[in-house]
Every structure is written in C-alpha cells, then in structure tokens.
C-alpha cells in the first residue's frame, strides 16, 4: 500500500513547485515509509510514498512509460490481485515488462485499453494516470472504495491525495467547512455521503468511479454498479459457489513479497479467512487479535458487542495451529495515543475504537507488513442486527434510536445546518439509488434496500477507519470479502438463502461448515471490542470539564450549556458511532475542538 498525491495546473509552471509537491508527498510518509518519489512537468506534478509489498526492488514510483505514440506516468496505491493474468495478456499484445510489479501492469493496461482498463482490475486501488501526450489526468478508485482518494478543483487547477492532509499541505487550499460539511460531521458521522467530505471544496472520488481533468474541465464517470437480476440455484449450489469464490479470493490475496498475517477475532468472518489461509500455501499462518488488561475488559454494548473473543480465538488457533499473537492495549496507551484518530483522519473520528484499532495495527506491524481482515462480510451476507429489524426505513437502520451529535449544536448553527432535514434528504437519495428487481417478494425488497444502504453508506465509514488506522501504522490491510465478484453474486441471493437455517449469515455458515469448530461456526455477531478502562473515561471527563470553562473554538458550534448539563447530570454525550459507548461523545467533542484549532478550520 502507498500514498499518492499530485497537482495539475494549466495556468502555472509546476517545475518551479518541487518544494510544495514534496511537502504534499511527505505528508503521507506513514502510508509509504519505504521510498519517496516526485515527477514534475510544466503542468503536472505527481508524488508517491511507497510501502513496498510486490517487487520490492523494482516497483518504484511515480512510474513513467513511453512506447511509440503512448506516453504516461502513474502514481498508484493498492493491490491488483489478478495482475499475473493481465500481465500475460499484455505480453501477448506486444508489451515488454521491466519490473514484476502490479504498478507496471496497471500503467500498461491504461496504455493499451485507456479508461476501460479499470474494468479489468480485481483489487483495492486508488491511482492517478497523467497522459503526457493528451495533457489529461485520470483519477481512479476501486469498486467499493477500499482505498481513499481526495480531490479538489479550482479553475484550471486540480489537487489530489490519498488523504486530506496531502491537499492541505498545498497553500492554495484552505481548511474551511460550511453547512454541508457540518451536517456530514454532526448529523451523519457514520453514514457519509459518497463524494462529500467535511472540508469545503474537497471531494472524494466515489467508489466505482473515475474523474478526468484536462483543459476541457472535469468529467466524472461511473464504471461499476450493482445490477439486480433473479438468482437461480439451491442452497447447496449457492453455498458451493460462495466457497469456490472465497477460496480463490484468499489464495490471490495471500500473494506478497513481504511477511503476511491475518486479523482473527474468533468471529465467523475472520475465522473463515484464517481457515482458508491455513489450508493453502501459508499453512503456518500468523494470526493477531486485540486484548485488554484485567480490569479493562471490553464493554458489552448490547447487540453490537456480545461476548469476549478470547475463548473462540483459542479454540480456532488450537485447531488450526496458527502462530498467534494477542496485542494488549492498556488504557494508559489509549490516553497517550488518542490523538492518532484526528491525525490519521484529518477530521474528528470515533475516539477510543480508532485508537485501540491503531494500537492493534502497530502491534501487528512489528511482525508483518500485510494483514487480511474480515470487513465487508456483514454487509454482503446480512449479518448486522439491523438486518433483522422490520421497522420502517425512516432513518439509516444503524442509527435507529440513536441521538446524533447534532443535538449539541447551538440553535443558530442548527438552523443553518438543518441536520434532521439533511439526514432525511440523504436517506431519500440513498434509497432512490437501489436497483430493485421487479416482482421480488417484500422480504427480499427490504433486504436489498438495507444491504444497499449498508454497502454505500455504512461500509465507507468502516473502510475509512480501517484504512486510516492501518496506514498510520504503515500496515497494509486487505479485505477479501470486498472482492467485487463475491459482492455482485451475493447481491442477488434471496434473503431466505442468506439466512439459511434461521441464522444470520446462514449461507456463509453453510459454505464453511466443514472448516470451523461448531462453537465458532455458530457464534453470534459481536463487533470490535471497546475498552472499559476506568482511567480513560475519567481522563476524558476531566478534559471536557476543563473545556467548558474555557473560550474554545468548539463552542462557536456546540452549545456550551448543553455540554455542561450532560457533565453535571452524568449523562452520556451523543457520539458519532452507531454502537453506543459512554466515552464516544466526549471523544468527539474534544477531537472537534482540536480539529478546529490545530487545523485552523474556518467556518463559512
């Protein structure tokens, strides 16, 4: 995995801007600690920070190729898992390769097939291709948005980067927010709108989209979307195909020229990946989990977090014989490193779960450079508790019964932001995107709606967190369940098959029933654990009490008296997470103040 950035400017000679381009590039050093590169031309500059995974010696970037009348340069982040097949096809078409890297495969694919090359790629990626002859930039993001990519246009200028910090490192972009950004931050912090950010004028390349920029201006194009059609096949046939897909996906994602491991929680999803990996070439797989010291064991958060991971992990590890490491995250470390969430995200995040996940990734990084993780399985197999809810879809399902941080806004700010109307409008837009199947049963229609909301509004928040916290530790995390072939197939599987046997994710359980011990196979969904360290909660409360006594920028937005009342009564401040947690709102409040102050964010 890597960090990419760049600057296109048809009104300015960028050959004189090397210092600024290097500052943009070096802001992404944690995404790529192994090497740095900058490519400069009159109207284009590309930067790259490399985390070497494939062809460690040969895959340096930005990579430039000139062949005949074709001339282009790429800055690429990600992994393309079918690059060996694509390489062979390109060789048959006359291409000669000078490296073993998937980067060269991606660039040559664009030289051969143009913008349509992206439809041939299987992987997680975000990259920029500058067509030197045509003087045009192409930004590309993978189908589900596993890898991030930000951009902004200012007339004849476009800036882009893997994270907002790369764009913010250019003095021509100012850190500002507005009513829309505040609505995303306060009303929908766990249901981000595709394409939008909390910074005014800064956008994301939407999942499954490309962005072209040249002298003609900007053009966005969707190259992938889910399509609905009838599913044919019994439970056994469907489960068999799922098993074949998963085996192929895991086999491809175990390819690495550097040490690789798996994140193992003892849940169905990560256990499935571990069992498949343990039967492949990595038969002595390295596995990793998070743990907490005695007295700081995880909070039980109802349906979101039910029981301890350790017994399930131990049973699986003993059965498979993996080399397992439990990374302990004490409360003192949570306090010491709690600023990592803001530093990695460039916006207020989820607080303690961000920090503990990052500390887990730091521990994993001491042993391996690449790890496989079980994200996305719940979205595609329907594993979250809210999939079982049959209430009206009058809010995003994971937010039902939750009070958003918008309830803390000052009255005049709330009047400008209109958080309830904003959330309702975004929900309506999201539901209008669902590709329904004519004549399907009401149960399947609703399951399709909830699944689409989960894939396009909930999953981006999870992937963003995973990407930032892992890359801040210079760890590449792969997500096999995000393979677009699996997502496309499961999109059309009826709900009755997905819940085979009357269990959530019954289809997945049926597909891997011979791989896992019964207790692990039938374990109910239990989310990422949240520390209950008393010292952490007490320290946040003290800081919040100090905050309300000071003249701080956060109170230009947040009602001081509302916060003071919560603290005096001992009630929980509304937080940004879907899962309830007593420190979530305190974390969000403190991070918001730090963001406004340290990033110098102005409100327009």
- Please list the active-site residues: 2
CA 444, CA 102: separation in Å to the nearest integer?
39
Q: Are residues 511 and 243 in contact, defined by beta-carbon separation less than 8 angstroms?
A: yes
Angle at 61 between CA 57 and CA 65, to 5 degrees: 105
Percent of the chain that is helix, strand, coil (3-state, to 5):
45, 20, 40
CA 244, CA 253: separation in Å to the nearest integer?
14
CA 27, CA 100: separation in Å to the nearest integer?
28
Tokens of 603: 């409100």
Tokens of 357: 């996940």
CA 477, CA 332: separation in Å to the nearest integer?
26
- Exposed/middle/buried for residue 12 (C-beta within 10 Å: 0-12, 13-18, 19+): middle
CA distances from 548 to 335, 570, 573 (A): 20, 15, 14
Q: Around 200, how many Cα atoms within 13 Å sit in the side-chain half-sphere?
A: 12
Task: Specify whether the backbone of 40 is left (phi greater than 0), alpha (psi in -120 to 50) or beta.
Answer: beta
Phi, psi of 427 (to 5 degrees): -65, -45
Query: Radius of gyration of the chain from Cα atoms?
Result: 24
Place of tokens 């760890």: 475
Q: Which of 306, 378, 236 is nearest to 523 (CA)?
A: 306
Q: Are residues 352 and 298 in contact, defined by beta-carbon separation less than 8 angstroms?
A: no
Task: Specify whether the backbone of 145 is left (phi greater than 0), alpha (psi in -120 to 50) or beta.
Answer: left
């Amino acid at each position: 995995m890597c960090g990419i950035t760049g600057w296109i400017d048809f009104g300015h000679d960028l050959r004189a801007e090397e210092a600024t381009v290097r500052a943009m590039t070096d802001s992404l050093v944690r995404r790529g600690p192994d090497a740095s590169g900058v490519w400069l031309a009159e109207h284009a500059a590309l930067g790259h920070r490399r985390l070497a995974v494939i062809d460690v010696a040969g895959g340096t970037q930005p990579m430039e190729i000139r062949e005949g009348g074709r001339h282009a340069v790429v800055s690429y982040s990600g992994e393309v898992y079918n690059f060996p097949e694509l390489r062979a096809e390109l060789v048959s078409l006359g291409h000669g390769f000078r490296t073993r890297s998937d980067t060269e495969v991606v660039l040559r694919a664009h030289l051969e097939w143009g913008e349509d090359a992206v439809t041939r790629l299987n992987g997680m990626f975000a990259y920029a291709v500058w067509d030197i002859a045509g003087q045009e930039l192409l930004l590309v993001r993978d189908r589900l948005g596993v890898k991030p990519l930000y951009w902004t246009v200012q007339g004849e200028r476009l800036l882009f980067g893997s994270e907002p910090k790369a764009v913010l490192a250019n003095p021509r972009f100012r850190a500002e927010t507005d009513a829309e950004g505040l609505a995303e931050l306060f009303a929908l912090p766990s249901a981000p709108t595709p394409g939008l950010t909390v910074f005014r004028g800064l956008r994301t390349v939407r999942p499954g989209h490309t962005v072209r920029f040249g002298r003609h201006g900007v053009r966005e194009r969707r190259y992938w979307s889910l399509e609905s059609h009838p599913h044919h096949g019994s439970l056994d046939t469907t489960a068999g195909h799922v098993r074949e897909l998963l085996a192929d996906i895991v086999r491809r994602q175990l390819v690495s020229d550097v040490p690789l491991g798996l994140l193992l929680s003892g849940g169905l999803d990560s256990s499935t990946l571990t069992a498949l990996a343990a039967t492949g070439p990595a038969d002595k797989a390295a596995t990793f989990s998070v743990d907490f010291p005695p007295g700081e064991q995880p909070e039980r958060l109802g349906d979101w977090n039910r029981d301890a991971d350790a017994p399930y992990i131990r049973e699986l590890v003993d059965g498979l014989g993996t080399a397992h490491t439990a990374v302990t995250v004490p409360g003192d470390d949570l306090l010491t490193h709690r600023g990592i969430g803001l530093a990695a995200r460039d916006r207020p995040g989820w607080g303690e779960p961000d920090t503990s996940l990052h500390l887990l990734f730091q521990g994993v990084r001491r042993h391996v450079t690449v790890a496989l993780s079980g994200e996305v399985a719940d979205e595609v197999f329907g594993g979250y508790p809210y999939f079982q809810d049959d209430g009206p879809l009058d809010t995003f399902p994971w937010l039902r019964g939750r009070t958003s941080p918008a309830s803390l806004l000052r009255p005049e700010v709330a009047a400008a932001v209109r958080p309830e109307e904003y959330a309702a409008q975004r929900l309506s837009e999201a539901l209008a995107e669902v590709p329904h199947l004519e004549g399907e049963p009401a149960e399947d229609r609703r399951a399709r709606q909830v699944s689409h909301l989960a894939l396009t509004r909930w999953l981006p928040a999870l992937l963003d967190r995973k990407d930032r916290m892992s890359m801040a530790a210079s760890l590449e995390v792969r997500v096999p369940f995000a393979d677009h072939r699996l997502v496309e197939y499961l999109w059309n599987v009826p709900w009755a098959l997905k819940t085979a046997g009357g269990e959530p994710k019954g289809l997945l359980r049926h597909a891997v029933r011979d791989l896992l011990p019964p207790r692990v196979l039938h374990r109910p969904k239990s989310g990422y654990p949240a520390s209950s360290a008393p010292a952490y909660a007490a320290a946040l409360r003290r800081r919040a009490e100090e905050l309300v006594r000071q003249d701080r920028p956060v109170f230009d937005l947040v009602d001081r008296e509302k916060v003071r009342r919560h603290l005096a009564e001992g009630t929980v401040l509304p937080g940004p997470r879907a899962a309830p947690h007593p420190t979530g709102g305190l974390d969000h409040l403190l991070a918001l103040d730090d963001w406004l102050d340290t990033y110098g964010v102005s409100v327009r």
